[in-house]
Amino acid sequence: MKRSAQEKESDEPPISAFSSSLIEKPKRGRPTLGDNYLLGARNEWAALLEESWYDIGWPLLRIRACPTSTIDDVRTAFQPVKEKPHNPGLAQAFYRETVEVAKPAEVRKNRNRVGDLQAEIRNDGARLDDIHRSILNAEEALKIAPPEKRNVVQEEISRRQQILLQLQREIRQVTIEHDDLYKKSLAQEAYVYASELLDFLHSKRRAVNPRNVANALAGLPMMCWRQSHLRCSRMPPQEERLHYRVLKVILSVWKLHRRKSKESLIEFFKAQLPKLPKKVRNTRDFLLENWRDLRLAIEESLSRKHEDGEAPYVLTSIFMKNTLGQKNSYERMLADQEKLKNLDS
């Protein structure tokens, strides 16, 4: 069922439409995943999303605002994650080529079946090795058996060879079933990840930020996003990564400039960064020390065309790539010359 989009300012992350204290009734029954697993997955997702948010945050916000957006839009939004150094394989379900409609319960069932088939293949492989050895032993026994017993030994060898052939056929059949079901489950996982995240975005019940998205994704594809978010939101958050802290500062300064200043964006950032509060001291210092990279990023972002509200994300992306990229000695010298000073130092 489609939901109408709520009007929000396009230059900042939307605020949750409901109170953060909203209570949902947990489902009964044994939890699908343990808390330790969920916590680890949530923290991994949060780290990856915070490092990627300046590249994927805006597309996800646009998907939220558009009630006709699809899972293909979600999958496209996650393409930049492929390039991230921090565990990019975590999001690989979002860029698999094959997608098959399924629900988390079906994925869970198929995953369990794939595990059973893997165990069956391992066990049959061990039996196959035992039969191979028993045939070799019987062939050695045939060499030293009395003439009147050789027919009996030969019959036993033939019997064991038949068992070997039958087991090989069974292993091939189980392997084919395993491979087909494994491919099917991967395609189903791709659908569950994209469709559940799309549902989370369209639900408009929570702000779209790395922490909430990580809470929603942590339990996928074994449970729906609502159950995952409910359980993970009760777990203590980890410290935000620098990438996301920088984006939040740039968003806030950008928004302030649009509302209160007519001076150039570069001069406004140059004047405002030293005034940032002590609670963001580490992020502020990082921006001040890399002022030249930020200035160049502002110039480059202003030369491009963006949607309204997209520019701060583009600016942050360019800036972080500038700071993380290799610099020659001349560039390092220029960067040192342009560093800004703290007002409270």
Higher pLDDT, 307 or 126: 126
Shared-domain flag, residues 322 and 235: no
Shared-domain flag, residues 140 and 273: no
Residue 2 has pLDDT above 60, yes or no: no
Shared-domain flag, residues 53 and 77: yes
Mean pLDDT of 320-332: 88
Give the CA count within 13 Å in the CB-facing half-sphere of 212. Answer: 19
Q: What's the pLDDT tens digit per position in 119-164?
A: 999 999 999 999 999 999 999 999 999 999 999 999 999 999 999 9
Residue 321 has pLDDT above 60, yes or no: yes
Q: What's the pLDDT tens digit per position in 259-273?
A: 877 789 999 999 999
Quote the domain boundaries for residue 268: 242-337
Residue 151 counted as domain residue:
yes
Q: In the chain, pLDDT over 70 holds for what percent of residues?
A: 88
Angle (CA) 61 67 68, round 5° = 110
Tokens for 297? Answer: 């990023």
Count of structural domains, the chain = 2
The confidence score (pLDDT) of residue 263 equals 81
Shared-domain flag, residues 218 and 247: no
Shared-domain flag, residues 193 and 68: yes
Residue 14 counted as domain residue:
no
Within its chain, how far is the Cα of 294 from the centroid?
Answer: 28
As a dihedral over the C-alpha atoms of residue 63, residue 310, residue 58, residue 84, rounded to 10 degrees, the angle is 140
Q: Tell me the C-alpha distance between 219 and 105, whole Å.
A: 12
Mean pLDDT of 200-205: 92
With contact defined as beta carbons under 8 Å apart, do 138 and 153 qualify? yes
Crossing angle of helices 225-232 and 150-203, in 10° steps, is 80
Shared-domain flag, residues 210 and 235: yes
The string of DSSP letters for 108-142 reads HHHHHHHHHHHHHHHHHHHHHHHHHHHHHHHHHHH
Residue 197 counted as domain residue:
yes
Q: Which of 317, 281, 285, 282 lies closest to 298, judged by CA?
A: 317
The string of DSSP letters for 179-247 reads HHHHHHHHHHHHHHHHHHHHHHHHH-SS--SHHHHHHHHTTTTTS-HHHHHHHHTTSPPPPPPHHHHHH
The confidence score (pLDDT) of residue 117 equals 97
The confidence score (pLDDT) of residue 344 equals 59
The confidence score (pLDDT) of residue 83 equals 79
The confidence score (pLDDT) of residue 326 equals 83
Shared-domain flag, residues 103 and 44: yes
Which residue among 203, 224, 239 closes a domain? Answer: 239
Q: What's the pLDDT tens digit per position in 61-115?
A: 999 999 999 999 999 999 999 877 677 789 999 999 999 999 999 999 999 999 9
Shared-domain flag, residues 153 and 280: no
The confidence score (pLDDT) of residue 262 equals 74
Shared-domain flag, residues 44 and 132: yes
Which residue among 239, 274, 308 closes a domain? Answer: 239
Residue 14 has pLDDT above 70, yes or no: no
Residue 24 counted as domain residue:
no
Residue 18 counted as domain residue:
no
Residue 302 counted as domain residue:
yes
Q: What's the pLDDT tens digit per position in 16-65?
A: 333 333 334 444 444 568 889 999 999 999 999 999 999 999 999 999 99
Which residue among 183, 216, 239 closes a domain? Answer: 239
Confidence bin at 4 (pLDDT 50/70/90)? very low
Instruction: Give this prediction's pTM.
Output: 0.82
Angle (CA) 98 101 106, round 5° = 110
How many CB atoms sit inside 10 A of residue 138's CB?
18
Shared-domain flag, residues 92 and 201: yes
Tokens for 140? Answer: 């050695």
Residue 10 has pLDDT above 50, yes or no: no
Q: Which of 31, 32, 29 lies closest to 222, judged by CA?
A: 32
Shared-domain flag, residues 251 and 194: no
Residue 211 counted as domain residue:
yes
Tokens for 177? Answer: 């079933």
With contact defined as beta carbons under 8 Å apart, do 38 and 231 qualify? yes
Element housing 332 (H / E): helix 329-337
Higher pLDDT, 211 or 2: 211
Shared-domain flag, residues 165 and 209: yes
Q: Tell me the C-alpha distance between 152 and 158, whole Å.
A: 10
Residue 174 counted as domain residue:
yes
